[in-house]
Structure 1
Amino acid sequence: VKAWGAHVTAVCSDDASPLVKKLGADDVIDYRSGNLEEQLKALPLFDFILDNVGGSTEKWALDLLKKWSGATYVTLVTPFLVNMDRLGVADGMLRTGVTIGSKTVKHLCKGVHYRWAFFMPSGPYLDEIAELVESGKIHPVIDQVFSFSEVPEAFLKLEGGHARGKTVINVIDKQ
């Protein structure tokens, strides 16, 4: 979002703060330094919130958006796979559809847009991202590169959480 000129407020742990600021965040809030909801309420209302935590965050984060201005809340945490595992394909899809439909209407009546993010490959969007990287507007962060033979170690690293960037598997072994 910073690449398009937005003022960015990021929420992370204090030890990630230097990296997040280096990547362009204007404000950084340490989620461990007190009541996160109160800290965010002290700031001006937001035009856009990207939530990758979910859970109880959704209950109060929508109140941080500007009402009736096109403000949008997008969550990366959806019940889609949980519903499918628990209820089966048909019932899981139906339950998910009903949930997103009711939340969308409920929040639209409150003056904000509610969305779930789903990702799929797109050549044109990847081209646009490549242009942003080449122009220096986006800075990819790689935490660690593993060889193909080190895939088990890479998974252990991912399970540990709190990576500072992407974990990469090099499938072409240069000898």
Structure 2
Amino acid sequence: MFIFSYRVLILGASGGVGTFAVQLVKAWGAHVTAVCSHDASTLMKKLGADDVIDYKSGNLEQQLKTLPLFDFILDSVGGSTERWALDLLKKWSGATYVTLVTPFLINMDKLGVADGMLQTGVTIGSKTVKHLLKGVHYRWAFFMPSGPSLDEIAQLVDSGKVQPVIQEVFPFSEVPKAFLKLEEGHARGKTVIDVINKK
């Protein structure tokens, strides 16, 4: 759990992971700044975001630099954001940047298992050390099962503090259509495949 002064920035807040993260860190007591397009701002406020920044309304980096520094950044966008987002963190305070966009699978596909893992290890190691010397922590998110964490999430869902955001449900027979929808980007929560009602 955080205290309210703990500031969290979520880049790509309107997608499946982002909508969940906004609610989760808000339930833990953090101040949440969500970055999304203007048409998702109402959803972000409904989910509990304290501040909503429209990345289309001007230079995002400059907009965020006008705000107080952050303790934690969750980046589900990647790309150019990694070059400047770490400068938005409080230095020498344990502040952490976590990206969901890693080259792990790309390296494995390009170089094979052994060389891909080696290249990935070198990349994460060098970035971790580089940013640690600047006073912030740099991490890649990897997912693993955790019973206690799932229990905590179940309690938050049961209490109504976290609600799944579902953009659209497709029957199993329309899986290709669901993938096309995902490829369009700009998701608002998750796209779901109904495997029980297959029609």
Q: Structure 1-normalised TM-score?
A: 0.95
Q: Distance in 1 between matches of 2:38 and 2:149?
A: 32
- Same amino acid, percent of matched pairs: 86
Question: Deviations along 1:68-113, whole A, 9 cap, x unmatched?
Answer: 1110000001011111111111111001001101111111111111
Q: Is the 8 A contact 2:173 2:198 kept in 1?
A: no
Cα shift at 1:124: 2.8
Determine the structure 2 residue equivalent to 1:27. Answer: 51
Count of residues paired in the alignment: 175
Question: Looking at both structures, which has the greater relative contact order when contacts are Cα pairs under 8 Å and sequence separation is at least 6?
Answer: 2
Structure 1 gaps of 5+ residues are none
| Structure 2 contact 172–198 (Cα < 8 Å) conserved | no
Q: Structure 2: where are the runs of 5+ without partners?
A: 1-24
Give per-residue Cα distances to partners, 1:110-151, cap 9 Å, x unaligned: 111110001133333222211111111112111111222222
Question: Where do 4+ consecutive residues of structure 1 move more than 6 Å?
Answer: none
Which residue does the alignment assign to 2:150?
A: 126
Where do 1:81-160 residues align within 5 Å?
Answer: 81-160=105-184
Label 1:15 to 1:77 Cα distance change in 2 as closer, same or farther (>3 A).
same
Equivalent in the alignment of 2:80: 56
2:89 and 2:136 in contact (8 A); partners too = yes
Q: CA RMSD in A?
A: 1.5
Cα distance in 2 for residues equivalent to 1:87 and 1:167: 31
2:3 is equivalent to residue 15 of structure 1: no
Q: How far apart are 1:174 and its partner, in Å?
A: 8.7
More displaced, 58-67 or 139-148? 139-148
Separation in structure 2 between the aligned mates of residue 55 and residue 159 of structure 1, nearest angstrom: 17
Pick which of 79-88 and 65-74 moved more: 79-88
* Aligned residue in 1 for 2:100: 76
Superposition TM-score, scaled by structure 2 size: 0.84
User: Paired residue for 1:4?
Assistant: 28
Name whichever of 150-159 and 7-16 sits farther off: 150-159
Deviation at residue 159 of structure 1 after TM alignment: 1.5
Whole-Å separation in 2 of the counterparts to 1:4 and 1:82:
34
Separation in 1, partners of 2:198, 2:192: 15
* Distance of 1:5 and 1:90 partners within structure 2: 42
Output the CA distance in 2 between the equivalents of 1:37 and 1:98: 28
